């Protein structure tokens, strides 16, 4: 027991906890899926372009392909007259050559014919007859043209491993000719609630009992990250029972979460169970945050195991900080957009120096300014998380924030 108290007074920062855990994990696998099955999945390897996109110089406007120098000085009062000597057809190669003083009709997306270096928009031309146009506005080389490879050059890395595939990424993948892509298998998350006082949601609690909140909240968080969560039920405060359940979850899952049993109470056995399961075992007990300090972090044969606090808010905050990055990216990595919103606090909030505080806040707009209103309440109150739509971070070097001061906020 003395060792547990000592561990809690040697709490790690969030970054230290991530570094410690990240140095030991090896989770997830790879599968190939069809392109239309890939949105929302995480790329397992870099994607490089084999061909240029576009594969030819093409027009971005309906008009006339020209040599730009033939239009210099053109105006409505003194047009530049050009001979129309050809026409570009969609989906066809432009065969031939544009000479000085000549122009070809060209549609949007059409292939720029050899010799042309710009396109004059049809709005800035006047047709004198079927064979002659007057250009009323000059163009420079490259105007209204997309060059071959201007979007994507051959051999370029177009998407990086670890990136979540978005709709625009799907379009890019199709543009380079891919019909399937290697993605990470969804990470399997085993969820276990502990405690003699915890009962199933469908039961009527007797005095001293509480319904299981954490299993369902953590399940929702994991599912929102694209993982495959599995609830393993409620385990009483028994070393043998918990050991059997965690072993089962480890055999079937990539990450295991235990909620409750991570503090230093006499009946709390999660720390001992986790540390007995395999190498390297418990790597830290306690992180310097509020809420969520009594968190256990461990790795068993490459699989992370987290002992989360029993209070629902604490468990969910620690999940956002330590589990969400693994489910989204497979690793911990620097993510400048982890706290993407800067918001102005509505009131003074105290904090302890040397500890990061994470405040539940409600974000809203006030005259074009994003405002963060703290949602006050203890970490056992799930309703405070429901009312919040963000977590505001108070850095460890600060002793609080004042009303009107700006904070960084993670959306939840």
Q: What is the per-residue DSSP string for 292-311?
A: --S-EEEEETTEEEEEE-SS
pTM: 0.84
Per-domain boundaries in the chain: 2-28+185-329, 30-53+150-184, 58-146, 341-411
Residue 261 CA to residue 267 CA, distance in Å, equals 8
Q: Is the pLDDT at 397 greater than 50, yes or no?
A: yes
User: Can you give the pLDDT at residue 8?
Assistant: 44
136-150 per-position pLDDT tens digit: 999 999 999 999 999
- Which of the two residues, 162 and 304, has the higher pLDDT score? 304
The fraction of the chain above a pLDDT of 70, given in percent, is 96
Region 199-227 average pLDDT = 95
CB within 8 Å of 277: residues ≥ 6 apart: 243, 246, 247, 250, 298, 300, 305
Class of domain 2-28+185-329: alpha beta
- In CATH, what is the architecture of 30-53+150-184? Alpha-Beta Complex (3.90)
> Percent of the chain beyond pLDDT 90?
84
CA 269 to CA 68: how far, in whole Å? 79
Could you give the 3-state DSSP secondary structure of residue 115?
A: coil
CATH of 341-411, one of 3.40.50.620, 3.20.20.70, 2.40.340.10, 3.30.200.20: 2.40.340.10
Q: What burial letters (b/e) apply to 379-411, b meaning 16+ CB within 10 Å?
A: bebbebbeebbbbbbbebebeebeeeeebbbbe
> What CA–CA distance (Å, rounded) separates 84 from 66?
10
Average pLDDT over residues 31-42: 95
- Indicate the class that CATH gives domain 58-146: mainly beta
* Residue-level pLDDT at 20: 95
SS3 content of the chain, % helix, strand, coil (to 5): 20, 35, 45
HSE value, Cβ hemisphere, 13 Å, CA-based, for 182: 12
Whole-number pLDDT of residue 3 = 47
In tens, the pLDDT along 243-268 reads 999 999 999 999 999 998 655 554 46
Per-residue pLDDT of 311-355, as tens digits, reads 999 999 999 999 999 999 888 988 878 999 999 999 999 998 889
Q: What is the pLDDT of residues 150-198, one digit of tens each?
A: 999 999 999 999 889 999 999 999 999 999 999 999 999 999 999 989 9
Res 266: pLDDT: 42
């Amino acid at each position: 027991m003395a060792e547990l108290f000592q561990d809690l007074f040697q709490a790690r920062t969030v970054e230290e906890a991530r570094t410690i855990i990240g140095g030991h994990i090896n989770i997830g696998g790879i599968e190939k899926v069809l392109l239309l099955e890939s949105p929302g999945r995480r790329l397992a390897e870099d994607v490089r372009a084999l061909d240029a996109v576009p594969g030819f110089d093409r027009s971005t406007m309906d008009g006339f392909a020209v040599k730009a120098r033939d239009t210099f000085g053109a105006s409505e009062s003194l047009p530049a007259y050009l001979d129309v000597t050809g026409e570009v057809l969609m989906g066809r190669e432009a065969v031939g050559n544009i000479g000085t003083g000549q122009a070809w009709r060209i549609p949007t997306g059409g292939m720029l014919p050899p010799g042309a270096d710009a396109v004059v928009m049809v709005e800035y031309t006047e047709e004198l007859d079927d064979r002659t146009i007057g250009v009323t506005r000059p163009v420079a080389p490259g105007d209204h043209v997309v060059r071959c490879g201007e979007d994507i050059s051959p051999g370029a890395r177009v998407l990086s491993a670890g990136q979540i595939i978005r709709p625009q990424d799907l379009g890019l993948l199709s543009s380079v000719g891919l019909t399937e892509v290697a993605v990470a298998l969804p990470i399997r998350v085993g969820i276990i609630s502990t405690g003699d006082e915890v009962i199933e949601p469908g039961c009527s609690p007797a005095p001293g009992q509480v319904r299981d909140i954490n299993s369902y909240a953590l399940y929702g968080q994991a599912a929102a990250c694209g993982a495959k969560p599995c609830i393993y039920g409620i385990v009483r405060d028994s070393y043998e029972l918990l050991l059997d359940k965690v072993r089962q979850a480890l055999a079937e899952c990539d990450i295991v979460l235990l909620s409750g049993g991570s503090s230093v109470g006499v009946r709390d056995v999660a720390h001992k169970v986790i540390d007995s399961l395999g190498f390297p075992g418990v790597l830290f007990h306690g992180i310097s945050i509020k809420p969520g300090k009594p968190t256990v972090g461990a790795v068993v044969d490459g699989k992370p195991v987290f002992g989360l606090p029993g209070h629902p808010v604490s468990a969910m905050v620690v999940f956002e900080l330590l589990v969400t990055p693994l489910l989204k990216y497979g690793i911990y990595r620097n993510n400048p957009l982890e706290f993407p919103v800067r918001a102005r606090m509505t009131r003074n909030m105290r904090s302890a120096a040397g500890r990061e505080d994470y405040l539940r806040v409600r974000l809203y707009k006030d005259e074009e300014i994003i405002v963060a209103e703290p949602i006050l309440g203890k970490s056992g109150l799930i309703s405070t998380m429901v009312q919040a739509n963000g977590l505001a971070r108070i850095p460890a070097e600060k002793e609080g924030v004042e009303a009107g001061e700006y904070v960084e906020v993670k959306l939840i």
